[in-house]
Amino acid sequence: MKIGKLVAMAMVVGVPALGCGDDNAPGGGGSGTDSEGTTIGMVSSTTMVADDSTTVVAEGSAEGTSSSSGESSSSGEPPPVEVTVEGEVVDFSNMASPIADAAISVYDLMGVTAMSDDMGLFSINPLPADSTAIFVVAPNPEYWGAIIPIAIGSDPLQEDEQLAQIPSAFVDLQIMYLEPQMMMAMSPPPDLDQAIVIVRLLNNTAVMEGDTIIDMTPAPPAGTFYAPDAMGAPVLDQNAIQFPLLPVVVFFNIPDTAPGDIAIEATHPTRTCTVLFPETPTLGQHITLFDIECV
């Protein structure tokens, strides 16, 4: 595979560090540490796409709107903590490039919205503490939308969160590379009005110990998923993670789904795998990233 193709693919799925260690993944909130002592950033579900929480914020939406002035409630208990999340929206292909005027909302929290400024910075509130917020960045003519779950802590201000979007041009480039295989397999054409799901292995050192097999339920139709082989070339209908520099499986033509409608399972011959933020939705023209840890 030509180097240009490999670089383009890396930028499409937003792998920030093509090193030999476990990735410090951008694009979302929270962090974890694997069994090898490597700190792992979690995009928390990309781009697309992670922690071990499965609770969606919708359940707390009615309770997350009370005043945070510090006054006690009628029962004598302090009011629930409301969290403000601040951060930036960036281009996955160039993490130093901010995206201005990105429309941000929170899945199943009506009215909780924000817009990034000229520097890509945003501030959004109120969010219920100790929950999971599924951030939705709207698509525009230059970028696919993004669905990024983030763990919300108990501090009133949560800073330095990063939301990332993938350029539409890079998605088009990936389709171009896969077209010869699609034509031979008579696969359905990519439907860019539907969703893309990227499943990413955070512990890329696990690749050296064997393939990580990714299964989706319901099973995707043949010709609508692929992964890089051990040399980095994209292979249609492959669901094994074999390439440590780009440890992903990509699914496309995914319909809109609610949290929990899609189940992702990861198995490894020597490690135990966990899907981080397993209950994450999909939306047309958005990229959802499911991160997995195998430790």
Domains annotated for the chain, with CATH where assigned, are 3-51+168-294 (no CATH), 57-66+81-163 (2.60.40.4130)
- Residues 26, 87: Cα–Cα separation, whole Å: 12
Q: Tell me which of 29-33, 111-115, 211-215, 243-247 is least confident.
A: 29-33
What digits encode the pLDDT tens for the residues 92-147? 877 779 999 999 999 999 999 999 999 999 999 999 999 999 999 999 999 999 99
pLDDT of residue 79: 78
Above 50 in pLDDT, residue 13?
no
pLDDT of residue 39: 31
What is the SS3 assignment for the chain?
A: CCHHHHHHHHHHHCCCCCCCCCCCCCCCCCEEECCCCCEEECCCCCCCCCCCCCCCHHHHCCCCCCCCCCCCCCCCCCCCCEEEEEEEEEECCEEEEECCCCEEEECCEEEEEEECCCCCEEEEEEEECCEEEEEEECCCCCECEEEEEEEECCCCEEEEEEEEECEHHHHHHHHHHHHHHHHHHCCCCCCCCCEEEEEEECCHHHHHHCCEEEEEECCCCCCCEEEECCCCCEEECCCEECCCCCCEEEEEEECCECCCCCEEEEECCCCCEEEECCCCCECCCEEEEEEEEEC
For residue 141, count other CB atoms closer than 10 A to its CB. Answer: 5
Output the six-digit token pair for 113.
């919205």
Range 17-31 average pLDDT? 40
Above 80 in pLDDT, residue 203?
yes
Angle between helices 3-13 and 168-185 (to 10 degrees): 110
Report the percentage of the chain scoring pLDDT > 70: 75
pLDDT of residue 174: 87
Question: Best-predicted range by mean pLDDT among 24-38, 132-146, 166-180?
Answer: 132-146
Report the percentage of the chain scoring pLDDT > 90: 67
- Contact between 173 and 190 under an 8 Å Cβ cutoff? The reply is no
- Contact between 114 and 104 under an 8 Å Cβ cutoff? The reply is yes
How would residue 4 be classed by pLDDT, with cut points 50, 70 and 90? very low
Considering only residues 173 and 242, tell me which one the structure prediction assigns the higher pLDDT.
242
pLDDT of residue 280: 96
Write down the residue that tokens 């501090």 correspond to.
155
Q: Which burial class, exposed, middle or buried, applies to 69 when counting CB atoms under 10 A from its CB (0-12, 13-18, 19+)?
A: exposed
- Residues 149, 48: Cα–Cα separation, whole Å: 11
How would residue 193 be classed by pLDDT, with cut points 50, 70 and 90? very high
Above 70 in pLDDT, residue 68?
no
Considering only residues 294 and 76, tell me which one the structure prediction assigns the higher pLDDT.
294
How high is the mean pLDDT of the chain?
A: 80
- Residues 26, 10: Cα–Cα separation, whole Å: 13
pLDDT of residue 59: 35
pLDDT of residue 170: 87
